[in-house]
Amino acid sequence: MCGIVGYIGKQEVLPILIDGLKRLEYRGYDSAGVAVVNKDGRLDVRRSVGKLKNLESALEGKGIKGSLGIGHTRWATHGRPSEENAHPHRAGGIVVVHNGIIENYIQLKNRLIKEGCKFTSETDTEVICHLVNMYSKKGNGLEEAVRKALKDLHGSYAIGVINENEPDVLIGARNGSPLVAGIGNGEYFIASDIPAILNHTRDVIFLDDNEMIILRQKKYAITDMDGMPVEKEINKVMWNPVMAEKGGYKHFMLKEIHEQPRAIMDTIRGRISQETGHIYLDEMKLSEEEIKGLKKVMIVACGTSWHAGLTGKFIIEELVRLPVEVDIASEFRYRNPIVDKDTLFLAISQSGETADTLAALREAKKNGAKVVSICNVVGSTITRESDGIVYTHAGPEIGVASTKAFTTQLTALFLLAVYFGVVRGKIDGKYLKELLKELVHLPLLIEDALKTDKEIEGIASAYFNYRDFLYLGRGINYPIALEGALKLKEISYIHAEGYPAGEMKHGPIALIDEDMPVVVLTADDKVYEKVLSNIMEVKARGGKIIAIASEGDKEIAKKVDSVLYIPRCNHFLTPILLSIPLQLLAYHVAVLRGSDVDQPRNLAKSVTVE
């Protein structure tokens, strides 16, 4: 997944494609490519690994001239970053660029191989090319061949398709991944995001799921997947290009906070079956016998990923009944830990390049541990050196303060814990279906939680001038209190501490007065009464309290200064929902203080030094 650009018209297509891809660079990518139907009817496909300048070098002097083409920047999800895995992909005269995840690509690939198709990449996208090519050979035009191919797919996609043998048509389609069409004067564009085409037109059509657009030199049509016409409004985009890169949001961080429902759905996609109650985590490369033989789990991470690991400890120990240790990676190497062949070493890293986590992983491997990583970057060093992987499909995260990468890590940990619980006989079929039902419903609950954005902005305006904050949580929500405090200090430069609520009386209570706002996480029925006692202790000392509570808890509003509500959900998923208002609170406080939210001082997105 990452950036798509397509063009059909009268201009030279190559400069338009390269310019569009450059305007999508902010999304992050590991490879890039273009396909152009030349004026002589010849199809030219060029791809390269790394930055767009590498692709430009590969194109230099090749004499590619045409007015129909597609381009792509890739963020690897299936297959490592390499030239053969880069888009566009080709089968016969058919060329495809694709964002999304095809869940049934293995079944489709096996079917196509039996029919004589030769695959040259590790990607899920290549099956789309072969399907379209197969239906083309059966006498269908490109439009109908694409329509038939898409009906075979399960999963998410935004695609651009061209055919060497039909040089007057460009097709775009979407289901679950964004795609926009640009309407020019006798020319048309497709793109995964508006910035790619904003230099050429401000008239756009936003495709909805299960819609296809057929673009020709002087006309276009939009249909559903059955070929029925669809009427769509042309929208006038008034954003400036910088704002457009951020999808209309003021900062990348805010955009990424609002992307969490889709990021979590993408992390779940293809990994569970509610009908059969199965969980598919084959990429971990752990047999059921190995899982049953584990004596303990060691989770190692840094920063926000460490907070995910601490939360994972609560989930794994309760659902799997397996002891879990959680270490900060920079400490792990120097304490002579007890690790052996019956230990599962779980490395968590957003970037897959965190130096301390990588060093700890290598130490664990020396001692014979099975190593599995939870990571967001395909082909990163940590994933290459792990025995197995669980990828979080959060997509590129530009803001330095992690948001969607964190909640997808929690999602991956929940999936892993439930899977282990089933294999080790701790979760029966009925309970499994309940858990999976809750998980599938989670993105909708996050959308509800995001609706409190304006309310949170109002609360932030009352507190942004305070110099110190205390965050309190109990049980599974204690690590989320740590994460909330970290988010605030990272981007607003306010001193903030996360603490177990029960430990408040062992020190932090001495700091509480009217100048110390306290954020209390109360959304957990198991320890609700205990947390209420902590609230009363803070209140007795004049502290100002912001509570984050479960929907319907009217009593809490009588005891605190401000309250934010999240939807009720399963105990193990509450930490994900609690993260949303904490991220938004930190964001709005930082904005009000004039901080550089996306690039806070002294911090880097990937810490590649020890």
* Catalytic residue set: 2, 605
HSE at residue 14, side-chain half, CA atoms within 13 A, is 20
Q: Which residues pair with 84 in a beta bridge?
A: none
Q: Cβ distance 418 to 410 under 8 Å? A: no
Distance (Å, whole) CA 506 – CA 237? 56
Neighbours of 36 (CB within 10 A): 28
DSSP state string for 374-436: EESSTT-HHHHHSSEEEE-------SSS-SHHHHHHHHHHHHHHHHHHHHTT-S-HHHHHHHH
Q: Give the integer Cα–Cα distance in Å for 30 and 201.
A: 28
Would you call 520 helix, strand, or coil by DSSP?
strand
Other CB atoms within 10 Å distance of the CB of residue 297: 26
* Strand order, beta sheet including 544-550: 495-500, 468-473, 517-521, 544-550, 562-566
Return the biggest CA–CA distance within the chain: 82
Cβ neighbours for 517, distance < 8 A, ≥ 6 positions apart:
463, 466, 468, 469, 470, 543, 544, 545, 546
Query: Which distant-in-sequence residues (6+ apart) come within 8 Å of 537 by Cβ?
Result: 504, 505, 509
Please list, in sequence order, all residues whose beta carbon lies within 8 angstroms of the beta carbon of residue 609, skipping any fewer than 6 positions away. 355
Pairwise CA distance, residues 538 & 554, whole Å: 19
